[in-house]
Structure 1
Amino acid sequence: MRTTGTYVNTTTLGEAVQAFVPHVLPPADPPLAADSYTATNHRAEMALARLGGVAGLVPSVDWLLYSAIRKEALLTSQIEGTQATLTDLFDDEAGQVLANTADVEEVTNYLRAFRLVRDNLRSEAGLPISVRLLCDAHRLLLDGARGAGKQPGELRRSQNWIGGARPGRAAFVPPPPDKVPELLADLERFIHDPAPLLPPLVRVALVHVQFETIHPFLDGNGRIGRLLIAALLEQWGLLPEPLVYLSGYLKQHQAEYYRRLSAVRTDGDWEGWVGFFLDGVETAATDAERGIVAMASLINADRKRLLAAPRVGAVALRLFELLPLMPRFTIEQARQKLDTTFPTATAAVKRLQELGMLSELTGQKKNRLFSYGAYVELLAGSL
């Protein structure tokens, strides 16, 4: 049986525990068996290629990014127990007052962290994927009340554990804090290896496990680790844009997700994890492809209906093209986006409402909230 690390004795909260220190990547003694991933890797790569190809079905890739990134932010947060919904996010962006503010804050913090990483990777002056960049993302992720006291943006300085009310009953004890910087440096070297021997998707799978095993932060490791997946998929040219939301697959198969991670450490089963991960990429990419086709069909049908309707002015047409980026909104938000007067924005909203594309949700005469209902239902139904 392959060993993937060593155990070291340490003490935390007065209890003696054995912390796991992973070996450097890639797997060795024996190396990862190529016949265990070649076919599944090919299928996953083809699914990603098809996904990249259908992006042209909509006029703006920003429409796709708006929904895909929010789905990933929501699902990766739900894996950690956050209760926010997609409509909560839309309502928050529309300026509505929500009861579950803390949950929504966690999701919006992930969006901020994701944008930070992506902006850096797409800028010549930006940071590469590195400990420093991940710490910067972590600082944004844990910004707010729930992150207080959890060292946002800093590598942990104390021993943590996973599962169990106390260390002695833990399901897994990550490396001692003094080992974390060196282990992350090794992981960086693997990520930036100029002559990698393994396919990119397989390397993404390995990096995710290694990061989760190191567990370098006091909190937020799972979300940063899954953010790292999305960043590497784009950085290594597997997708032109972050259009796949793998956290949906991981949430649906959450028990197996955790079991596969654990089996790497306890049984050396890298092959089982890589196969599970590649199946997930194929499934998530196929689901995202279907979602894009459905989105394009809905928007194209509504646009065709709008163009054929009487008394539809240029402002109403412009408003319709904004809806995929603001599926719930107030008239004031529409006015600002359209750069027009309040009465003109109101008239445009009213015309789309008359055509059944928009609905008003509050029943109020002031501070009304409008929704592109069919679009919201389509996105929410794909989760």
Structure 2
Amino acid sequence: MSYQPPFTITPDILNLVVEISEQVGRLNASALNASPQLRKQNRIKTITGTLAIEGNILTEEQVTAIVDGQRVMGSVRELAEVKGAIAAYDALPGLQPGSIKDLLFAHGLMMSEILTNAGRFRHKAVGIHKGNVVQHVAPPAHQVSGLMAELTNWLKQTKDHPLIAGCVFHYEFEFIHPFSDGNGRMGRLWQTLILSQWHPLFLSLPLESVIKDNQQHYYQALEEADQQADSTPFIQFMLSVIAQTLAQNAPVNALQNAPVNIEGLKTPEAILRLIQHNPLMTRQQIADALGKDVRTIGRAITRLQQAGSLKRVGSDKTGRWETSPP
């Protein structure tokens, strides 16, 4: 293996890898994937988050409407970005992380309505600016194909854990900046693909949404890695984001471990079925599991309480639900 990206596996990184591996071991990916409502909701969070980092202001509700084929008010570019992201993430399970052909294909899907050269490496110099200050000057365009070939070959041959390899690839990809536009969303997409090859659970987790919640730290980690000419700071940041994503989704996944069949049930009946399996569920977790707005869930819960089918015991934060037979 000729090319070796510079990074150091620190004790903190090792501890995060162990923590994430234990979290994944406690979750049931097949059960999570069996819930189309939850999978859809997390995919919408993923698309909204990764595009919001790039300045797209469409909300989760608007992205949901686009996914459902409804008309949405927005700029031509914003709507095209959402449609492109939907197509790219839909194609993700059939792509190979070490394939340049697949990478270009995914970029073509992501940017087809935005760039005339979608699906092709850039042919001009690019830089990343912060205000009037140049933060990063990418390698010359004539080096891009060779650098990307070296990076993908390293990815195919590396013995490093996929959790680490995915972070390294993400950073190196952003450093090379192989496309004229769409590099941020493609780097995040490809890390999700690398993680999904290790465990399919990651196809159903909104990792990009959590990156958006930590957007300033995301950029800081990229800058620190640039300054050190070493991706170690970025690896540690991204592993912490992965651990946070798993922790945030653990309650819903714990519910899914004992499969709950809610297919075909009306919302009130589905709520009762979910609560019977996990009386500690919050309204937001129920909404996520059913792919519904939390206000819709709140109204349904009120009706169930009024009918005597559901009761809240204790406070909203620390209490639990109790169901009563009809």
Query: Deviations 1:258-310 (Å, cap 9, x if unpaired)?
Result: 11112112123533222211111100111122344579999688335789xxx
Equivalent position to 1:120, from 73, 83, 95: 95
Shift of 1:186: 0.7
Whichever residue aligns with residue 108 of structure 1, its letter is K
Give the distance between the partners of 2:53 and 2:272, measured in 1 at CA. 40
Alpha-carbon shift at residue 71 of structure 1 (Å): 1.3
Please give the per-residue CA displacement for 1:67-115, whole angstroms capped at 9, x wherever unaligned.
2222111100000010111111222244433211532331221110122
- In 2, are the aligned partners of 1:36 and 1:271 still within 8 Å (CA)? no
Aligned residue for 1:170, secondary structure, equals: strand
CA 1:202–1:188: 2 relative to 1, 3 Å: same
Q: Give the residue type in structure 1 aligned to 2:204.
A: L
Percent sequence identity over matched residues? 23
Is the contact between residue 174 and residue 215 of structure 1 (CA under 8 Å) also seen in structure 2?
yes
RMSD: 3.3
Match of 1:229 among 173, 176, 191: 191
Q: Relative to structure 2, which stretch is displaced further, 89-98 or 221-230? A: 89-98
Does 1:42 pair with 2:18?
yes
Secondary structure at the residue paired with 1:69? Answer: helix
The Cα of 1:324 is off from its aligned counterpart by: 7.5
Tell me, yes or no, if structure 1 residue 163 matches structure 2 residue 105: no
Give the conservation status (yes or no) of the 8 Å contact 2:16–2:239.
Answer: yes
Is there any run of 5+ residues in structure 1 with no aligned partner, and where? 1-22, 122-127, 308-322, 329-351, 358-383
The one-letter amino acid paired with 2:228 is D
Pick closer, same or farther for the CA change 1:325–1:116 going to 2, 3 Å. farther
2:69 is the counterpart of 1:92 = no
Q: What secondary structure sits across from 1:163 in the alignment? A: strand
Q: Which amino acid aligns with 2:122?
A: R
Alignment of 1:170-209 (within 5 A): 170-193=134-157, 196-209=158-171
Q: Deviations over 1:350-374 (max 9, x none)?
A: xx9xx959xxxxxxxxxxxxxxxxx
Q: Distance in 1 between matches of 2:271 and 2:289?
A: 16
User: 1:63 deviation in Å?
Assistant: 3.1
Q: Give the unaligned 5+ runs of structure 2.
A: 274-287, 302-326
Q: 3-state DSSP class of the match of 1:242?
A: helix
Residue identity in the other structure for 1:272? P
Partners in 1 of 2:53 and 2:108 — Cα distance?
A: 20
TM-score if structure 1 supplies the norm length? Answer: 0.64
- Is residue 2:225 matched to residue 1:251? no
Q: 1:297 and 1:88, CA in 2 relative to 1: closer, same or farther beyond 3 A? A: farther
Q: How does 1:342-357 map to 2 (within 5 A)?
A: 356=300
Q: Could you tell me which residue of structure 1 aligns to residue 250 of structure 2?
A: 289
Asked whether the 8 Å contact 1:26–1:206 carries over to 2, the reply is yes
Counterpart amino acid of residue 69 in structure 1 = R
What is the rounded CA distance, in whole Å, between the counterparts of 1:99 and 1:63 in structure 2?
A: 24
The 5 Å alignment of 1:41-60 reads: 41-51=17-27, 53=28, 56=31, 60=34
Write the deviation string for residues 124-143 of structure 1: whole angstroms up to 9, x where unpaired: xxxx6322111111111112
User: Aligned-pair distance for 1:65?
Assistant: 2.3
Q: Is the 8 A contact 2:85 2:109 kept in 1?
A: yes
Q: Distance in 2 between matches of 1:160 and 1:186?
A: 20
CA distance in 2, matches of 1:306, 1:199: 41
- List per-residue Cα deviations over 1:164-206 (Å, max 9, x = no partner): 577xx4111110001111110111111110xx34222011111
Aligned counterpart in structure 1 of residue 221 of structure 2, from 260, 263, 272: 260
Is the 2:125–2:141 contact (alpha carbons within 8 Å) kept by the matching residues of 1? yes
The residue identity in structure 2 corresponding to 1:262 is: E
Runs of 4+ in 1 over 6 A off after TM superposition: 294-298, 323-326
**Residue by residue, what CA displacement relative to the aligned partner does 1:221-262 show, whole Å, maximum 9, x if unpaired?**
000000001100111x23345122222222122111111112
**Contact 1:54–1:289 under 8 Å retained in 2:** no
Larger radius of gyration: 1
How many aligned positions are there?
277
Distance in 2 (alpha carbons) for counterparts of 1:81 and 1:46 = 35
Distance 2:227 2:24 in 1: 31
Q: Kindly indicate whether residue 43 of structure 2 is the aligned counterpart of residue 69 of structure 1.
A: yes
- Do the aligned residues in 2 keep the contact of 1:163 with 1:170 (CA within 8 Å)? yes
- Corresponding residue number in structure 2 for 1:344: none
2:36 corresponds to which letter in structure 1? Answer: D
